[in-house]
Amino acid sequence: MEQGNDAASPTFAYMLFACTWSEEFEAELADWYSGDMIEAFMEAEDQHDPWSFGWEGFMARIAPVQLTDGWDVHPYLIETFARMRVEPAYRLGYLDETDNVVFFARAPGGFESPNIGAAPIGLAADVARFHEVLEATIDLASSQGSGLLFVGESGWAYDMDVPMAARGTLERAGFRFATRHA
How many domains is the chain partitioned into structurally?
1
Q: What predicted TM-score, i.e. pTM, was given to this entire model?
A: 0.89
The predicted structure's pLDDT at residue 10 = 81
Q: Give domain status of residue 2, yes or no.
A: no
Q: Give domain status of residue 5, yes or no.
A: no
The predicted structure's pLDDT at residue 3 = 40
Instruction: Decide which of 92 and 104 is more confident.
Output: 104
Range from 57-61, 94-98, 150-154, 164-168 carrying the lowest mean pLDDT:
94-98
Q: Give domain status of residue 15, yes or no.
A: yes
CA nearest to 98, candidates 148, 20, 154: 154
Tell me if 12 sits within 8 A of 153, measured CB to CB. Answer: yes
Q: Give domain status of residue 180, yes or no.
A: no
Quote the distance between the C-alpha of residue 59 and its chain's center.
Answer: 12
Q: Give domain status of residue 30, yes or no.
A: yes
Tell me if 122 sits within 8 A of 182, measured CB to CB. Answer: no
pLDDT in tens, 147-164: 999 999 988 888 889 999
Phi, psi of 113 (to 5 degrees): -60, 130
Q: Give domain status of residue 6, yes or no.
A: no
Q: Give domain status of residue 178, yes or no.
A: no
3-state secondary structure of 160: coil
* 114 contacts: CB under 8 Å, gap ≥ 6: 80, 131
Residue 147 domain boundaries: 11-172
